[in-house]
């Protein structure tokens, strides 16, 4: 997992790293969508929530590298294209773009000084939690978002306001 979170520069990205990041993030989103869309078409509706990242919108993040940002930006493009294609089937397809989320993985990588600098750039003054992302996904999956498709919902505490 360290490779997924390390800070790569463009000229340091090997083809294996590039393929792995795109396979997990972009190809995985496509393949999972292809697996569920036929059933959703048969039942005449459904909701797909794609996971992107604030890194796609910023052109980089705290962790990851250009290939991660590119893969997550690809997820946004795929989300919008599928939303247009499958909207007539009443299948809503939206994306979440989490910011920095506190997990066991990120916790060990953030030293106190760096953590405080990051928190200073987040208007809500805290890192996100897994439940913050889950609640946003629950909203997009529910009928409360019944007229939303092709949107990008930011879950970043204001880290990126646009």
Give the fold, CATH level 3, of 2-155.
Rossmann fold (3.40.50)
Place of tokens 């790293």: 17
pLDDT at position 107:
62
Closest alpha carbon to 98 in 124, 66, 130: 130
Render pLDDT for 151-161 as a digit per residue (tens, 0 to 9): 999 999 999 99
pLDDT at position 105:
65
As annotated, the active-site residues are: 68
d(CA 72, CA 57): 9
- pTM score of the predicted model: 0.90
Q: Facing residues of 93 across strands?
A: 48
- Most confident option among 55-64, 75-84, 112-121: 75-84
d(CA 161, CA 155): 11
pLDDT at position 5:
42
Going from N- to C-terminal start, the domains of the chain cover 2-155
d(CA 78, CA 81): 5
């Amino acid at each position: 997992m360290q490779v997924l979170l390390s800070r790569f520069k463009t000229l340091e990205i090997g083809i294996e790293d590039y393929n792995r990041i795109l396979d997990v993030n972009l190809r995985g989103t496509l393949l999972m969508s292809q697996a569920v869309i036929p059933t959703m078409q048969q039942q005449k509706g459904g909701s797909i929530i794609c996971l992107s990242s604030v890194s796609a919108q910023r052109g980089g993040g705290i962790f990851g590298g250009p290939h991660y940002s590119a893969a997550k930006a690809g997820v946004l493009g795929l989300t919008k294209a599928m939303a247009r294609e499958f909207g007539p089937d009443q299948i809503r397809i939206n994306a979440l773009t989490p910011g920095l989320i506190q997990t066991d993985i990120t916790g060990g990588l953030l030293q106190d000084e760096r953590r405080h600098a990051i928190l200073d750039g987040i208007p809500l003054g805290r890192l996100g939690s897994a439940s913050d992302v889950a609640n946003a996904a629950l909203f997009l999956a529910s009928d409360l978002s019944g007229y939303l498709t092709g949107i990008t919902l930011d879950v970043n505490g204001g880290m990126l306001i646009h």
